[in-house]
Amino acid sequence: MSELWEGPLEKIDDFRWRISKTYKPGMRVPGIIYADEKLLKDIRHDKAPEQVANVAFLPGIVNASLAMPDIHWGYGFAIGGVAATDIEEGGVVSPGGVGFDINCGVRLLRTGFRYEEIKDRIEDLVYALFNMVPAGVGSKGEIRVSSKEERQILTKGSKWCVENGYGIQDDLECTEENGAIAGADPDAVSERAYERGKAQSGTLGSGNHFLEVQVIDQLYDRDLCDTFGLDQGQVMVMIHSGSRGLGYQICDDYVRGMIHCLQKYNINVPDRQLACAPVKSQEAQAYLAAMRCAANYAWANRQCLMHLTRKAFEKVFGTSWEKMGMYLIYDVAHNIAKIEKYAVDGKEKNLCIHRKGATRAFGPGHPALPERYKKTGQPVIIPGDMGRNSYLLVGTKKAEEETFGSTCHGAGRVKSRAASTRSTNLGALLRELQSRGIFVKASGRGTIVEEAPDAYKDVNDVVNVVHNAGISKRVCRMRPLGVIKG
């Protein structure tokens, strides 16, 4: 990962860089990377730009192979990659353009608390959350489901949770796709995937997944903050998790199965990890049906995690979550492929949008948004590392015009997990975080050092790029108070 990428980058403006489609014979479109000069140094120390160029080989790709400022090396696609393919022109879907943690995503809740009111209870809250929310590799949840119920979750998503008492209708309205994308087919999911997902509903998982208690420390748009019911010093909760073992197994099953499609459909790509099939093909339709199952499972998972979070707050503060004002602002997916309509050369087209480590960022008035967000644009939630900041932004019309309604999804790694483990002293890191008022609880020591703040780019730099490029707009910034990790 440390080898310098020396390919050609042409500056478009202060926040966009182009890889010409003449860079590699076979590129159908250019690559465009959103970054400033500072972030470009980190990006060049990774081979992710090469993956941006490789994605430009995909049949049916439209306009450009895109990369967000949190870009880093991934499987097939770089993490932070966005690509749209034209379904009517032989456009493909690639499991590598979604990734293994299907619908890894994030949700943000507000509370009615001010930091000053609960600052002496943060440690108690962290312990209560850690005890209430199952975390860690292979963690199994309190919310157990039968095989029949599991199949229902794969089609109903968050709706299943609400029907079973793990939330309210308002939660669904504040979730992308209302918490369940249509077209999921449980029959497209392997027995092995079912087995891996069976006991993981309402579990956090490991790696970069987390549950954080945060406080708003900076407002950027007073009017939007007022609309969302937010103010400086207000306590928030952010939940970051995905489809766990079920999604991983679905990706694994279909990645291997799609390699033969390269020859079958005469597709030429420079990396077998870009295995793909035309969206209209039987293979692609089966993958999309299974991927949607994993996406729905992930929305249900985060809904259950929010239910458990509300219960933990109730236990600590002795009052109902409703009285504590613990309402969902939004939940958005990071790793997903979706069929969406966009204007291409003046014609409206059905495109397959791959967002891998990228967040949907629809602007004001978009028909997919609930009425409450029609004027503001879609809430965009960008988590950072556990030592710095996270952000709430909103989507923009410019994102719809330039990036197929997409923006960054987080800070983006600059060190591998192994490198971070080698260079981080656990005791020193915990003391440093505690000195800044950040309490951390994890099921394993390894996760903390793997996820040390210096393993990531500074999310403030990343968000500056997408804000200044106009593909999302800052609303407010949070800093962590308490962190639960797997």
pLDDT tens-digit series, residues 9-45:
999 999 999 999 999 999 999 999 999 999 998 898 8
Per residue in 321-353, pLDDT (tens digit) is 999 999 999 999 999 999 999 999 999 999 999
Half-sphere exposure of 162 (CA within 13 A, CB side): 16
Q: To 5 degrees, how large is the angle CA 315–CA 320–CA 323?
A: 135
- Please identify, in words, the CATH class of the domain defined by 10-485: alpha beta
Please state, in angstroms and rounded to a whole number, the distance separating the CA atoms of residues 458 and 184.
37
Inter-residue contact 251 to 75 (CB < 8 Å): no
- The DSSP code sequence of 122-168 is HHHHHHHHHHHS--STT---SS---HHHHHHHHHHTHHHHHHTTSS-
Can 260 be counted among the known catalytic residues?
Answer: no
Q: Among the options 72, 334, 409, 467, which is catalytic? A: 409
Please state, in angstroms and rounded to a whole number, the distance separating the CA atoms of residues 159 and 388.
34
Helix residue ranges per DSSP H, 45-132: 48-55, 115-118, 122-132
- Confidence (pLDDT) at 1: 44
Inter-residue contact 224 to 475 (CB < 8 Å): yes
> Between β-strands 439-442 and 472-485, what pairing exists: parallel, antiparallel or unpaired?
parallel
- The CA–CA distances, whole Å, from 406 to 46, 69, 403, 470 equal 22, 12, 5, 11
- Confidence (pLDDT) at 438: 85
Angle between helices 147-156 and 282-317 in degrees, nearest 10:
100
- Confidence (pLDDT) at 215: 98
Inter-residue contact 382 to 359 (CB < 8 Å): yes
Please state, in angstroms and rounded to a whole number, the distance separating the CA atoms of residues 354 and 102.
11
- Confidence (pLDDT) at 149: 81
Inter-residue contact 351 to 339 (CB < 8 Å): yes
The contacts of residue 11 (CB under 8 Å, 6+ apart) are 17, 18
- The CA–CA distances, whole Å, from 419 to 184, 306, 422, 449, 452 equal 38, 32, 5, 10, 11
Q: Which two tokens stand for residue 419?
A: 């490198």
Low-confidence ranges of the chain (pLDDT < 50): 1, 136-138
Inter-residue contact 210 to 483 (CB < 8 Å): yes
Span between the terminal Cα atoms of the chain, in Å: 25
Please state, in angstroms and rounded to a whole number, the distance separating the CA atoms of residues 392 and 383.
9
Per residue in 155-194, pLDDT (tens digit) is 999 999 999 999 999 999 999 999 999 999 999 999 888 8
- Confidence (pLDDT) at 486: 63
Summary mean pLDDT of the chain: 91
- Confidence (pLDDT) at 200: 59
- The CA–CA distances, whole Å, from 2 to 200, 221, 282, 446 equal 35, 38, 40, 22
The contacts of residue 456 (CB under 8 Å, 6+ apart) are 384, 385, 410, 411, 412, 413, 414, 415
- Confidence (pLDDT) at 136: 47
